Amino acid sequence: MGISKEYAVQMRGIKKVFGAYQALDDVQLDVKKGTIHAILGENGAGKSTLMNILYGLYQPDCGEIYLNGEKVNIKNPNIAISHGVGMVHQHFMLVDNFTVTQNIILGKEVSNKFGVLNMSKAKNEIKSIVKKYGLDVDPDAKIEDISVGMQQRVEILKALYRGVDLLILDEPTAVLTPLEIKELICIMGNLIKDGKTIIIITHKLKEIKESAEECTIIRKGKYIDTVKVTDVEQSDLANMMVGHKVNLIVEKSPAEPGEIVFDIDNITVEDDRKLSVIKDLSLKIRRGEILGIAGIDGNGQKELVEAITCLRKVSSGTIKINGNEIQNTNPRNVIDNGISTIHEDRQKCGLVLDFTVAENSVLEKYRKQPYSNKGIINNKKIDEFIKQKIQDYKIRPEHCENILVRELSGGNQQKVIIAREVANHPDLLIAVQPTRGLDVGAIEYIHKTLVELRDKGKAILLISLELDEIMNLSDTISVIYSGQIVGTFKQGTVDENHIGFLMAGGKQDAVNN
């Protein structure tokens, strides 16, 4: 394919090496003007690196970049912006206690000759952009007061305000609710209509199918293919991304629930500001059952997990495992009573990143026989244990027992946690966002593991912001809204729309009518 003005971006033979690690190896990219182009790849495949090179954050070791048919040398993001390239990062770069307008104009302030800001002019400009693309956002609201979806819009507005023609969105849907995702896709449509070009980095196949025209697949730093999205199935995309056949649908037999092992009865929990964020919540989980809690972030999921694991006080009500009350004791007691938790933020709460894999694998058990004896740690036993787990859970790289967990990929870090928690033989396993940020292969593996555990008669509490995950995996689905369970359904008796409606605060009765 030649270099042509038809293309907003063309990249040729891009190579990038970090230390001994080849992040990109001869990657090419062709993005047609006025289209949405998806870049698909597993975590660590090199998609973000490629886009950071396009945005001038990294310099390629070799390779060429053409914008609108002309060769460019993008040394830093300012040059990228001057060429009309904008990027919205996965982690937003906004000043929390500034207003939307202030954030947008930051670095490109409109002022008169005395250096006094002309806010009204800036505001009007922003309003016109807002109107044009349907990016509904209050220009006077403070960033800390608006939702994540809104913050993303501010980031997009920031780019548009700087007059970009090519917008790179890095994992834009990772933090959004289903409704927000729909709105984002709609906004992207508006931008395309106006002649802008969009590149989205993602590993969510469904969204690619819904929005993009073309898709470039990268695997392990290598260019695989560019395909027209309408020509391929989701499973084809997944296979290309992973490099082998992937099973997208969770295979599981119908649940055979046993007796109730875990029982939350009317608990009320206060947050740090002494506001009740969980009000009279009750929940029961049976053996051999996966109970999924669907809900938008910030509706009490975090506090619920903290209350169960005794990291937070319960002001009233009881939490029982196997009939023993555990509320308001301490985390160790909870673990000893047979509750294991895969925490949401694995790097902050699940792992000690500067401990070895072996050390992390016994983070809860180091005091127990045979891992230690009379206060002296038995490294031999720990090694035996982790070696077995590395084999069982296919933790990569092989023989990683004595390397730091920090050096493992996200998926393998999560496997270490799961291996550790499952080895506790818990009666209840709490999994909070267990697949967040993981690639398809790892997600498939983790889902399979959870189902296997269920089949062994364990109770599993799954908390996830990804509705698909809840719908596919749970035997029972509960919806949490504003600290209360607003509906509980058996799998298959409810559709995604209804759950989404309840998650957003809709009333059960209104639907029934």
Partner 1 sequence: MQLIIKILRKPITSTIIAILCGFFVASIILSLAGYNSIQTINVMFNGVFSRPKSIANVIIKSTPIILTGLSVAFAFKTGLFNIGAEGQYIMGTIFAVIMGIQFDFVPYIQVPLVIFSGMIAGALYGGIVGLLKSKFGIHEVITSIMLNWIALYMSNFIANTSVFHKPNTTGTYVINESSFTQVLYKWKTSRAGIAYLKNNSFLSDILLRTDLNYGIIIAIVLAIFISFFLLKTTKGFELRAVGLNNHASEFAGIDVKKNILHSMLIAGALSGLAGALTITGMSPHNISTISVFEGNGLNGLSVALIANSSPIGCIFAGLLFSGLIYGGQSVQSEVGVPSEIINIMIGTIVFFVALTRLIPQLANVFEKKVGKKNAN
Least distance in angstroms from the C-beta of 231 to partner 1: 36
Distance CA 115, CA 111 (A): 5
**Cα–Cα distance between 459 and 455 in angstroms, integer?**
9
In the chain, the amino acid numbered 178 is P
Instruction: Note the residue count of the chain.
Output: 513
User: Minimum CB separation from partner 1 for residue 351, in Å?
Assistant: 6
- State which residue, 336 or 468, has the beta carbon closest to partner 1: 336
Q: Which one of the spans 221-229, 263-271, 360-368, 465-473 is the region binding partner 1 (CB under 8 A)?
A: 360-368
Instruction: Identify residues 361-420 at the interface with partner 1 (CB under 8 A).
Output: 363-364, 366-367, 372, 375-377, 379
**CA 478 to CA 484: how far, in whole Å?**
10
x/- mask, partner 1, residues 5-24, rule CB under 8 A, reads: ----------x-x-x-----
Task: Choose between 271 and 280: whose C-beta lies nearer to partner 1.
Answer: 271
Rounded to whole angstroms, the Cα distance separating 2 from 114 reads: 50
How many residues touch partner 1 under the rule CB under 8 A: the total is: 34
Choice between 204 and 312, CB closer to partner 1: 312
SS3 breakdown of the chain: % helix, strand, coil, rounded to 5?
A: 35, 30, 35
Characterize the bridge pairing of strands 85-88 and 166-170.
parallel
Tell me the C-alpha distance between 429 and 339, whole Å.
6
Kindly indicate which of the ranges 271-279, 354-362, 407-415, 439-447 contains the residues binding partner 1, using the contact rule CB under 8 A.
354-362
| Binding flag, residue 27, partner 1 (CB under 8 A) | no
Nearest distance in Å: CB 302, partner 1: 13
Q: Does 272 bind partner 1 (CB under 8 A)?
A: no
Work out how close the CB of 301 gets to partner 1 at its nearest, in angstroms, rounded to a whole number. 16
338 near partner 1, rule: CB under 8 A: no
Q: Distance between CA 502 and CA 497 in Å, rounded?
A: 9
User: Could you tell me the end-to-end alpha-carbon distance of the chain, in angstroms, rounded to an integer?
Assistant: 58
- Of residues 53 through 72, those in contact with partner 1 by CB under 8 A are 61-62
- Positive or negative CA dihedral for 200, 201, 202, 203? positive
Site string for partner 1, 420-459 (x = CB under 8 A): ----------------------------------------
Per CB under 8 A, 179 contacts partner 1: no
The only residue of 351, 390, 471, 480 in contact with partner 1, by rule CB under 8 A: 351
Shortest Å distance, C-beta 373 to partner 1: 9
> Taking contact as CB under 8 A, which single stretch among the options 156-164, 217-225, 319-327, 353-361 is the one that binds partner 1?
353-361
Spell 184-207 as b/e; 16+ CB within 10 A means b.
bbebbeebbeeebbbbbbbbbbeb
Cα separation, 211 vs 220, in Å, equals 25
Q: How far apart are CA 77 and CA 27, in angstroms?
A: 21
SS (H, E, C) 193-224: HCCCEEEEEECCHHHHHHHCCEEEEEECCEEE
Residues near partner 1 (CB under 8 A): 15, 17, 19, 61-62, 309, 311, 330-336, 341, 343, 348-355, 359, 363-364, 366-367, 372, 375-377, 379
